[in-house]
Amino acid sequence: MKAMLWKELRENFKWALLAMIGLCLAEIYGLNYYDPLNYNNRGLTLCNPTFLMATSFGCAIVGLLLGFLQILPEQRRDQWAALLHRPVSRDTIFRGKVVAGLGLYLVATVVPFLICVWLAATPGHFLAPFVPSMVLPGVADIGTGMVYYFAALLVALHRSSWFGARTLALFAAVYLSFFVTSASYFSPALAAAVLMALVLFTAAWGAMRSNGPFHVRPWLAKVALLAAVFYGLCGLGQVAHMLLKSNQQEDYTGSQYRITSDGQPVITTVNKDLTSKVTDLAGNIINDERYTGPRSYENFLFLNEVCYLIGDSHGYDPVSLYYQYRQSERHVAEVQINSFIPLPVSWFYLQEKKYFVGISRLNKQPVGIADTAGFKPAQAPEPFANLDGFAETYGTPCLVRNGDTVLAFDFEHEQMFQLPSVDEGKVYGAQLISFRNKDSSGYDQVIALAFAHELRIYDPKGNPLATLSYHHDDTDHYGTIELGVLGNQAGYLVEYEPSAWIGWGERNRMTSYLEEVDARGNVLHSYDLPPLPFEMTPRSWIDYIFDSTRSPALWFGNLAYQKVGGQMGDKNLADKDEAAFHEGWENTKEIATRLILYSLFFAVIALVWSRRMNFSWGRAWAWAGFVLAFNLAGLITFRLVADWPVRVRCPQCSQKRPVEEERCPHCGAGWPAPASRGTEILDKKEEVAAV
């Protein structure tokens, strides 16, 4: 073992060093890369999208290269045999290579990453704070790269044609990459990476053990190889799906409700040719240049969401929609202030620690914090009791929920005030609402707080302006309250929308309600906004194929998981289970039937095919069962992984028979001895004289 380690390390160290340097340069470049025009993806330091591109692609490439370099150059046929011809098991040789390879991989990927972490964590380098959770995306990428290492080992060791199980192993790693980059939380991403690494490692081990055939591998390695090829097909399918969909034109004819600056609700419809028409709620066309011409957005009112649910959350998880672990905002949210002159201090909200930290633009050192006690020097922070985690960091003042009060932070003047001043009940949401001032052409703000039964409006200094009671009782289902301000604060528009925890299907069937209220809360007008007909893009053949080829094992398994989870108390799963079996029952039934039918069809194909190829009944049924559970992907996996017999014509009965069998399955004949040419020279060994 030690000798193999020494050899592998010495042999590949120079590549690991090169990779390390390359990664270091790419990552530092990514850290420093800042695109001020990209408002959507303002990543900070270790969560910078360019940096993460360097880590995700870089670690994957390093893993792939190291895996290939450890096997391929040594695989000139007889050199590989020379390596294996040792009085140690192939397992030992494999272990030696893997330990060395992983060690080199970690050196090549962790060292540059640690350098970057040090750079980000040490104040003075970047205009951004550092919290430990910012390393998570990079760590997940290092884990993913390890999966690519094992995939490369499997690709190099598995003896089959290139277009088959070998390339699919790479796609299994690609599939994992998709998952890791789109996962909401870090733990499932890391767990998936570890699991996939184990799968590919075990499959590679099996490939090392065997001289090619599948059925001689240890059963664990067989399962792993099946899983690797299956996930490879999933990865390939995902890539294909992406490519096919991006070429498809999305036909979008959508209508939506909008409110004019006079407070009128209208319906705007965008046609395929991007022209739009505006109608009133009754459907009569409104031909007003203000609403259909260019710059029409100036004549519409925008409502801001003050809260997204009141009361029971039903397991709703905002993280999964808005703040994935790879996004900067999940860890640190930058305070954006609409000011023409940038402030000398940039402020950031630390999501986990729950206070603000200010960093000087000049020397990039922290200058102070803002917590429940207000603005103070950077020590002894008193974090907010903001249970659902996120503060609004756009505009000034920034509003943070602190238990039952709301703190407002004016970062321009570094002042803080609190509202409401007395304990008035639980606050479900706080929002800064901008509205166009009718006289001047600027914007004014009000602060809105959502309570259990009413909205309270304050001016930007915290002075109360109005109290608006909810006129709908069912705040459990209508817990999303949106507010708009009519010009010059003549009045307010309050909209009641379905709560955030309600699923998309049911949400599209619920009516919304709009009220125009005056400054004292009296309802002036009340509108019902029934759900607009939403023309779905017709399900194309692409969607049909992808829907029909899902694995029953996974799909039904997911249903079972939802049911059990719901029973055990997880509200989110209970809601999904409910949706699948009640409102979505038709859809569920349709998909279930389709999956069963297609899987049965492919399973029968597998059965017939394997019997034609002279598989034994036991093996044929086993494969058919596998294909039944995994549908088309299972069929392809079966074809690629199972030992496909080579068949030639039987010299006796002229039917095709497998070359590995002594007896022909059709006529029972053996194999004839090679034809004698009459030139054989064979002597009996006993004739040789012994000396």
Partner 1 sequence: MSEQPGASPVIEIDHLTKYYGTRKIVSDISLKIPRGTIYGFLGRNGMGKTTTIRIFLGFEDPTRGTARVFGLDSRSFPPEARARIGYLPEGHHVYGWMTVKECGQFQASYFPAWNQDIFETVLTHFRLTSKMKAGHLSRGQRAGLCLALTLAPEPELLVLDDPALGLDPVARRSLLQSMLYVTRKADRTIFFSSHLLSDVERVADRIAVLDDGVLQADCTVETFRRQIRHFVLKFDNTPPAAPNFPGLLESFRTDRELALTVVNVTPEIENRLEALAPVSIEPVDLTLEDAFISYVGERGEKTFFMNGKEAK
Contact footprint for partner 1 (CB under 8 A): 2-3, 6-7, 10-11, 76, 78-82, 84-89, 92, 211-213, 216, 646-648, 659-660, 662, 671, 673-674, 677-683, 685-686, 688, 690-691
265, 530 contact by CB (below 8 A) = no
Q: C-beta of 169: minimal distance to partner 1 in Å?
A: 22
User: Given the complex with partner 1, which of 40 and 679 has the nearer CB atom?
Assistant: 679
549, 598 contact by CB (below 8 A) = yes
User: Given the complex with partner 1, which of 342 and 672 has the nearer CB atom?
Assistant: 672
Cα gap 412→417, rounded to integer Å: 13
SS (H, E, C) 615-632: CCHHHHHHHHHHHHHHHH
User: Given the complex with partner 1, which of 473 and 683 has the nearer CB atom?
Assistant: 683
User: Given the complex with partner 1, which of 80 and 617 has the nearer CB atom?
Assistant: 80
Q: Which sign, positive or negative, has the C-alpha torsion 605, 610, 614, 617? A: negative
User: Given the complex with partner 1, which of 91 and 280 has the nearer CB atom?
Assistant: 91
Give the 3-state secondary structure of residue 513.
Answer: strand
Give the 3-state secondary structure of residue 552.
Answer: helix
Distances (CA, A) of 461 to 44, 211, 397, 430, 486: 31, 78, 9, 14, 20
377, 357 contact by CB (below 8 A) = no
User: Given the complex with partner 1, which of 96 and 552 has the nearer CB atom?
Assistant: 96
User: Given the complex with partner 1, which of 274 and 689 has the nearer CB atom?
Assistant: 689
47, 328 contact by CB (below 8 A) = yes
Q: C-beta of 371: minimal distance to partner 1 in Å?
A: 59
Q: C-beta of 11: minimal distance to partner 1 in Å?
A: 7
Q: C-beta of 680: minimal distance to partner 1 in Å?
A: 6
500, 315 contact by CB (below 8 A) = no
Q: What is the DSSP string of 534-558?
A: --PPPP-HHHHHHHHTS-HHHHHHH
448, 433 contact by CB (below 8 A) = yes
Beta bridge partners of residue 399, listed in sequence order: 408
Q: C-beta of 671: minimal distance to partner 1 in Å?
A: 7
User: In the numeric block, which tokens belong to residue 318?
Assistant: 């905002």
Alpha carbon 358 to its chain centroid, in Å, reads: 31
Amino acid 153 reads L
Q: C-beta of 73: minimal distance to partner 1 in Å?
A: 10
User: Given the complex with partner 1, which of 273 and 687 has the nearer CB atom?
Assistant: 687
User: Given the complex with partner 1, which of 79 and 593 has the nearer CB atom?
Assistant: 79
Q: C-beta of 81: minimal distance to partner 1 in Å?
A: 5
User: Given the complex with partner 1, which of 422 and 688 has the nearer CB atom?
Assistant: 688
Q: C-beta of 9: minimal distance to partner 1 in Å?
A: 12
Element containing residue 112 per DSSP (H, E): helix 90-121
User: Given the complex with partner 1, which of 77 and 520 has the nearer CB atom?
Assistant: 77
Distances (CA, A) of 364 to 121, 126, 344, 479, 644: 12, 6, 10, 42, 64
Q: C-beta of 618: minimal distance to partner 1 in Å?
A: 21
Amino acid 413 reads H
Q: C-beta of 346: minimal distance to partner 1 in Å?
A: 52
Angle at 499 between CA 494 and CA 504, to 5 degrees: 120
Q: C-beta of 672: minimal distance to partner 1 in Å?
A: 9
Cα gap 479→495, rounded to integer Å: 10
User: Given the complex with partner 1, which of 72 and 285 has the nearer CB atom?
Assistant: 72
Q: C-beta of 82: minimal distance to partner 1 in Å?
A: 5
Cα gap 676→453, rounded to integer Å: 101
406, 449 contact by CB (below 8 A) = yes
Place of tokens 């692409």: 542
User: Given the complex with partner 1, which of 159 and 453 has the nearer CB atom?
Assistant: 159
Q: C-beta of 32: minimal distance to partner 1 in Å?
A: 37
Q: C-beta of 160: minimal distance to partner 1 in Å?
A: 12
Torsion, CA 412, CA 415, CA 416, CA 417, rounded to 10: -110
Phi, psi of 316 (to 5 degrees): -70, 135
Cα gap 160→683, rounded to integer Å: 41
375-381 own/partner pairs: CB under 8 Å, 24+ apart: 375/409, 375/414, 375/415, 375/416, 381/353, 381/355
Place of tokens 């060994």: 685
User: Given the complex with partner 1, which of 161 and 284 has the nearer CB atom?
Assistant: 161
| Cis before 665? omega within 30 | no
User: Given the complex with partner 1, which of 250 and 683 has the nearer CB atom?
Assistant: 683
Q: C-beta of 158: minimal distance to partner 1 in Å?
A: 15
User: Given the complex with partner 1, which of 88 and 220 has the nearer CB atom?
Assistant: 88
Give the 3-state secondary structure of residue 526.
Answer: strand
Q: Which among 463, 545, 477 has a CA at the least distance from the CA of 511?
A: 477
Q: What is the DSSP string of 557-581?
A: HHHHHHHHHHHTT-HHHHHHHHHHH
Strand 366-371 to 355-360 pairing: antiparallel
105, 64 contact by CB (below 8 A) = no
Q: C-beta of 189: minimal distance to partner 1 in Å?
A: 38
User: Given the complex with partner 1, which of 380 and 690 has the nearer CB atom?
Assistant: 690
SS (H, E, C) 233-290: HHHHHHHHHHHHHHHCCCCCCEEEEEEECCCCEEEEEECCCCCEEEECCCCCECCCHH
User: Given the complex with partner 1, which of 294 and 672 has the nearer CB atom?
Assistant: 672
Alpha carbon 348 to its chain centroid, in Å, reads: 26
